[in-house]
Amino acid sequence: MKKTLPFLLLLGALAATAGAQSSGNVLVNAAGATFPYPIYSKWFDVYHTQHPNVQINYQSIGSGGGIRQLLAGTVDFGASDGPMTDEQLSQSKVKILHFPTVLGAVVPTYNIEGVSAELNFTQKALVGIYLGTITKWNDPEIAKSNPGVQLPSADIVVVHRSDGSGTSYIWTDFLSKVSDDWKNKVGKGTSVNWPVGLGGKGNEGVSGLVKQTPGSIGYVELIYALQNNISFGKVQNASGKFVKADLAGVTAAASGAAKDMPEDFRVSITNSSGAATYPISSFTWLLIPQHLDDATKRDVIKDFLKWMLKDGQSYNEGLSYAKLPKPVVDKELKAVAQIQ
């Protein structure tokens, strides 16, 4: 009992000094997508060392949570792997602007006994496999794009993400674009009603299941596949070419879409045109309110956005994220001025 009193005093003193230190500093709170978290935390960290009085606190709670917290006004800005829907935007009191930050891609990974070749997947093949209409590895739709590969007649075990994720959003967005059947039956979203397959939790859950299960196919983020040396197949793009995902191909997809980029940046770049384009890729966005009451916070956010679009982009490739193409950066820099 007697020992606790000095302890409490000490705690109080500590709290008081902490309070004194934080005055004059700017603390910005943000929450949202988990996929870009590694690059965001790098950016916020570097920005903090350059501006010691600015602390941006980002919680990677998921895109859905980020949008909800932004709408509830508990964070200063949000982040999402999928653009906000019109319905969500209409729920917000202030107008919300989308700013693409980096690009991500999703790749098919598989495990077939006796096959070590890099497989080519047509768009039809991927749709058929995930719809459950293609059930054997030696199906003509798979075989015709892989001449010379001895495909077994084994059953295909489909693996997808069980947790709601931007990775599933990009994957289903691509399938919806290339197949009306998929669009009408399943649709696109962070979680969907999968016609077939097993669910693995996270990229590690999907790749773990694929590694262990003979005859399986799954999808993971490109960055995850690169960092963990997971081999993956080529995917047919809109020009009919089979492209293996790499950072340049993803940036190419964004350049292809930059020509007809809408004013609010809410654009899907899956299956966009161009011979070198990797078709299953997407932007990830920061969600910034157009009007902020707190002038210091507003200036900090605007300055951070400008820094992120110029200097920040140079950190991308070290962390396996694709850079934004130049036309998109220019367009975004103009949009930063809209924040008031």
Partner 1 sequence: MSTTATTIGPAAQPSAGPRAFLNRLRSGDEVAHVLTLVFAASIVLITSLLVYDLWANSGLSRAKFGWMFLWTRTWDPIFENFGAAPFIYGTLVTSIVALIIAVPLGLAAAIFLAELAPRKLSDTVAFLIDLLAAVPSVIYGLLGIFIVVPLMRTTLGPALKHVLGFLPLFSGPNYGVGFLTAGLVLAIMVVPFIISVSREVLLTVPRDQREAALALGATRWEATWQVVVPWARTGIMGSIFLALARALGETMAVTMVIGNDPKIKASLFAPGYTIAAVIANEFTEATGDLYLSALIELGLVLFLVTFILNGMARLLILATERGGGRPS
Strand-pair partners of 198:
159
Please give the size of the binding site for partner 1, defined by CB under 8 A.
Answer: 37
CA separation for the pair 327, 261 (Å, rounded): 10
Based on CB atoms, which residue is closest to partner 1, 46 or 89?
89
CA separation for the pair 229, 310 (Å, rounded): 30
177 part of the interface to partner 1, by CB under 8 A: no
Sole window of 10-18, 108-116, 123-131, 184-192 interacting with partner 1 (rule: CB under 8 A) = 184-192
Query: To the nearest 10°, the Cα dihedral for 315, 261, 183, 63?
Result: 40
- Least Å distance, CB 190 to partner 1, is 4
Pairing of strands 216-221, 281-289: unpaired
- Least Å distance, CB 259 to partner 1, is 29
Contacts of 196 (CB under 8 A, 6+ apart): 130, 131, 132, 158
Based on CB atoms, which residue is closest to partner 1, 166 or 249?
166
- Residue corresponding to tokens 């932004």: 70
Sole window of 47-55, 189-197, 276-284, 303-311 interacting with partner 1 (rule: CB under 8 A) = 189-197
Binding mask 46-85 for partner 1 (x = CB under 8 A): ---------------xxxxx-xx----------------x
197 part of the interface to partner 1, by CB under 8 A: yes
188 part of the interface to partner 1, by CB under 8 A: yes
Based on CB atoms, which residue is closest to partner 1, 214 or 262?
214
Among 155, 180, 263, 330, binds partner 1 (CB under 8 A): 155
Sole window of 18-26, 116-124, 133-141, 206-214 interacting with partner 1 (rule: CB under 8 A) = 206-214
29 part of the interface to partner 1, by CB under 8 A: no
Binding mask 240-269 for partner 1 (x = CB under 8 A): ------------------------------
4 part of the interface to partner 1, by CB under 8 A: yes
Q: Residues interacting with partner 1, by CB under 8 A?
A: 1, 4, 8, 61-65, 67-68, 85, 88, 155, 157, 162-165, 186-194, 197-201, 205, 208-209, 212-213
